[in-house]
Amino acid sequence: MSNTINTEHFWMPFTANRQFKARPRMLVAASGMHYTADDGRKILDGTSGLWCVNAGHNHPKIVAAIQQQAATMDYAPAFQMGHPKVFEAASALVAIAPEGLNRVFFCNDGSEAVDSALKIALAYHRMRGDGLRTRLIGRERGYHGVGFGGIAVGGIAGNRKHFGPTLAGVDHLRHPLDIAKNAFSRGLPEHGAELADELEQRLLTLHDPATVAALIVEPVQGSTGVILPPKGYLQKLRAICDKYGILLIFDEVITGFGRVGAPFAADYFGITPDMLVCAKGLTNAAVPMGAVIVRQDIHDTFMDAAPENAIEFFHGYTYTGHPLASAAMLATMDVYRSEQLFERAAAIAPCFEQAAHSLQGLPYVKDVRNLGLVCGIELESVPGKSSARAFDVFLKCFWEKGVLIRTTGDIIALSPPLVIDKAQIDQLFGAIADILKAQKAVPETEAAFA
């Protein structure tokens, strides 16, 4: 069927367009744990789409909520106007947010949520008369979406190098991945908490701490291959931020909504950030939506600083709190709660961990790391051909095994819907194991993306 579709005009994002279009991988339907490919095959979804369909595909309650809202009111502006569902949505999010985070700014995706959070941080300091705080700190290998703010604090070279200097005054902490010390750790790695000290000892020594507005981190770095915080590491970051009046922003676009077996990673780690960025699982990805959940006093600073009847924050989107997204989000929260999906993720996580670590010892497996229902499997690269090996596994999983995985460089990242069961976990890791056992030193598909 895909060879009847003209693929010429759609410029695909983050895709090897020429390689894809030579043999398109088309998905045409979805339900629960599976996609259907255009050749009719069922494809087990090992990645929740793009880390986002946490409740499984086409959940009937979410589908019905969107259908009903589309037939009732398609759109309402959020500038100087409102509609009930967006207010209900904010309250529903606050109900599961970490204690103390109770004001919600909505937008349309993770990138916008990150840029919104950075703007809130900068404006907050300025509004309380501390306008010198204009620096932002991110981390190497951090992914915070593709807006100019997000790529500035992000730490992925390829996402930055073509786009000029982006924001001024940004610096980065080192990432905490240390395979030499922590390979094959189950859950949080033992070694590396001291890497957090670099914030105080290097960055805040180099830059006057009184000039730093915020530190933004993913509690678990997802997109660059599942980098887990060593035990005690995030606690140290929290303490240093507190010491110097720096806002701590958790980017929970991936870790939110049950991925680590708790509502948010903040809950799992017992650390409350000053702002929490989320998207993806917020609506089960059925309609795009992102959000920043903010400490009340940060919000109130804006209210207090602006003259009466004036707009307090000059920021927003045409589709902020879109009625379809709000309806999808409310239904999604209901599904998470009524089906106890966060608890379910926590309950099945040990089985997922066991299956992930069964890959240890297979050819080319350099590291396996996991937390909740997320895991990274790092493979030895083909010399001079970074990403060729993992991409070969990805292609074979899709074409030969009917399993969707995701790769970044030579790391396979798995993040299945929270409704995955034991047999599906076995199928997912069994497929990868079979392919790895038959791996050649230089995979044959490598020529396609050399």
Of the candidate residues 125, 135, 144, 238, the single one contacting ligand PLP (CB under 6 A): 144
**By the rule CB under 6 A, 267 interacts with ligand PLP:** no
Distances (CA, A) of 11 to 24, 143, 147, 165, 335: 13, 22, 18, 25, 35
Rounded least distance, CB 264 to ligand PLP, Å:
13
Nearer to ligand PLP, 49 or 443 (CB): 49
Rg (CA), the chain: 22
Q: Which two tokens stand for residue 129?
A: 């008369």
**By the rule CB under 6 A, 253 interacts with ligand PLP:** yes
Q: Which two tokens stand for residue 43?
A: 């494809």
Residues 28-47 vs ligand PLP: string with x where CB under 6 A? --------------------
Nearer to ligand PLP, 109 or 410 (CB): 109
Tell me which residue of 282, 333, 320 sits closest to 53, measured CA to CA.
282
**By the rule CB under 6 A, 115 interacts with ligand PLP:** no
Q: How far apart are CA 217 and CA 63, in angstroms?
A: 33
Rounded least distance, CB 376 to ligand PLP, Å:
13
Of the candidate residues 114, 173, 271, 436, the single one contacting ligand PLP (CB under 6 A): 114
Of the candidate residues 45, 115, 171, 218, the single one contacting ligand PLP (CB under 6 A): 218
Rounded least distance, CB 372 to ligand PLP, Å:
15
**By the rule CB under 6 A, 223 interacts with ligand PLP:** yes
**Residue 403: in which H helix or E strand, if any?**
strand 403-404
Q: How far apart are CA 233 and CA 277, in angstroms?
A: 20
**By the rule CB under 6 A, 279 interacts with ligand PLP:** yes
Tell me which residue of 335, 331, 187, 186 sits closest to 258, measured CA to CA.
335
Tell me which residue of 149, 116, 156 sits closest to 135, measured CA to CA.
149
**By the rule CB under 6 A, 151 interacts with ligand PLP:** no
Q: How far apart are CA 411 and CA 228, in angstroms?
A: 14
Nearer to ligand PLP, 291 or 355 (CB): 291
Tell me which residue of 398, 388, 378, 406 sits closest to 442, measured CA to CA.
388
Alpha helices per DSSP H over 97-199: 110-127, 148-153, 157-160, 179-182, 197-198
Nearer to ligand PLP, 218 or 392 (CB): 218
**By the rule CB under 6 A, 415 interacts with ligand PLP:** no
Rounded least distance, CB 3 to ligand PLP, Å:
29
Of the candidate residues 34, 103, 104, 109, the single one contacting ligand PLP (CB under 6 A): 109
**By the rule CB under 6 A, 145 interacts with ligand PLP:** yes
Nearer to ligand PLP, 62 or 253 (CB): 253
Q: Which two tokens stand for residue 409?
A: 């460089």
**By the rule CB under 6 A, 257 interacts with ligand PLP:** no
Tell me which residue of 216, 265, 274, 219 sits closest to 245, measured CA to CA.
274
Q: Quick one: which segment of 104-112, 341-349, 384-392, 435-443 binds ligand PLP (CB under 6 A)?
A: 104-112
Chain residue at closest Cβ approach to ligand PLP:
110
Of the candidate residues 48, 111, 272, 332, the single one contacting ligand PLP (CB under 6 A): 111
Q: How far apart are CA 228 and CA 218, in angstroms?
A: 9
Q: Which residues bind ligand PLP (CB under 6 A)?
A: 109-111, 114, 143-145, 218, 222-223, 251, 253-254, 279
